[in-house]
Amino acid sequence: MAAYIVRRLLQMIPVIIGATFLIFVMVFALGDPVAGRCGERPCPPAYVAKFRADNYLDQPILFQYGHYIWRVLHGDLGTAFSGQPVAQELLLRFPTTVKLALIAVGVEAVVGILAGVLAGIRKGRFLDYLVTISSLVVISVPIFVIGGLAQLVFGLRLGLFPVTATQGTIGQLIMPGLVLGALSVAYVARLMRATLVENLRSDYVRTAKAKGLTPARTVGVHTLRNSLIPVITFIGYDIGALMGGAVVTERIFNINGIGGYLYRGITLKDGSIVVGTVTCLVLIYLLVNLLVDVLYGVLDPRISND
């Protein structure tokens, strides 16, 4: 297992370099890094000259990128227009986004897997059709529509949850977490159903039934374990997507998280915020994928031996 983890860590290095280089080039090299730093008015020539010299913008792009990576390795993700370090701002907002993402992941894991299992073991019955149709409806509705309806129904009319989550407490983040995880719940349920139905037709399941094992033990011990591998893959990849894709949800519920900070950087054309935030999200995404790879080895030891 240790060698398996080391191999995965080594494979992450070129991915980190490639992803950060692409976003760095797209934000800084393809646009004007000084644009927006002085508001709507053009920046003074002296300020522009000093800014370009301090950030090595007069050097080749590879040298600029190397300097940026060197700063990232020392915990420096750049400085926003406001003068605040991007790393410091991300640390302040990171707990809120993590709580939001964990609520969404918990919802999609529990509800999605349970719905998929129930639909799979009752294939062709009412519950199967209910899960299939309801998941298709959720997938078809945009997330901002689901968020608006949730605010209207559960926030304003029923008063069950706060309409906004400016403080970032668990109570305020429950409804945004449900909204954020709604789409993933539908995908997990459909994926879980499909893999479970496929595995229930396998030879080892028929052998288990022939030996006299109860349906609960056949599904719970043998079939479910194999069916969870692709589901865990999706959930693991979805954690990074939830943290980065929470921009819309955080805007709807006025959440002061990483997604809202990224939206602010895009709106203000602040390249330091955009590059620094995306770099942080890339690292989180890769670390989560590493955790998923480790879980692969736990669920199926043959994978870690490949």
Residue 168 in tokens: 């970032």
What's the pLDDT score for residue 245? 55
Q: State residue 306's pLDDT score.
A: 55
Quote the pLDDT of residue 215. Answer: 67
Of 186, 31, 39, 18, nearest to 108 (Cα)? 186
**What is the third-level CATH fold of 86-304?**
MetI-like fold (1.10.3720)
Consecutive sets of 10 residues in the chain, 306 residues long: mean pLDDT of each? 73 82 76 65 77 75 84 82 82 87 88 86 83 85 86 87 83 87 86 83 72 68 74 78 73 84 80 84 80 68 55
Q: Provide the residue ranges of all domains of the chain, joining segments of one domain with +.
A: 86-304
The per-residue pLDDT for 246 is: 72
Residue-level pLDDT at 134: 87
